Amino acid sequence: MFEGWEWIEQHAQGATIAYSGNNLPYRLLGRRFENHVYYVNIDRHLHWRYHDYERAVRRRIDYTPPQRPNPPYFRQLANLDEWVQSLKDLDVAYLFLTRLSPLMEDDYLRDAEGFPIEAAWAAAHPDVFTPVYDNPEVRIYLFRR
């Protein structure tokens, strides 16, 4: 992951960066905190935070408590078009993806290498996502709005 962070530091000054895969985005901010960094939801809820998804589930009339702690409600309604629109709305320049931990539950949508669903979407749409860096742990794409 360090090599991916270094790539960002060398190539993305003053950029808006979307990330997914892990929750360690602080190095993406840049040495002088010049970048804007966001986790971008993979559904229509651009401004929702983690707890907003839990609240929405609890308000449902058919709510049943989860079988284990912290179910990934925020990852369950994946929609490529809504996610891309959110990237556009935030004026994202780069997408920084890391492999998910193998300890995470299987209901986190991932590809065969363990990257989150955003990696499959980016790879399937080279007209919008240009790969600029890749190693076994990190994939970085230029996002063409």
Task: Report d(CA 23, CA 68) in Å as an integer.
Answer: 20
φ/ψ region of 114 (left if φ > 0, alpha if ψ in -120 to 50, else beta) reads left
Domain boundaries, the chain: 2-143
**pLDDT interval class at 110 (50, 70, 90):** confident
CB 126 within 8 A of CB 137: no
- Give the phi and the psi of residue 110 in degrees, each rounded to 5: -145, 160
Q: What global pTM score does this model have? A: 0.92
Q: What is the pLDDT of residues 8-63, one digit of tens each?
A: 999 999 999 999 988 889 999 999 999 999 999 999 999 999 899 999 999 999 99
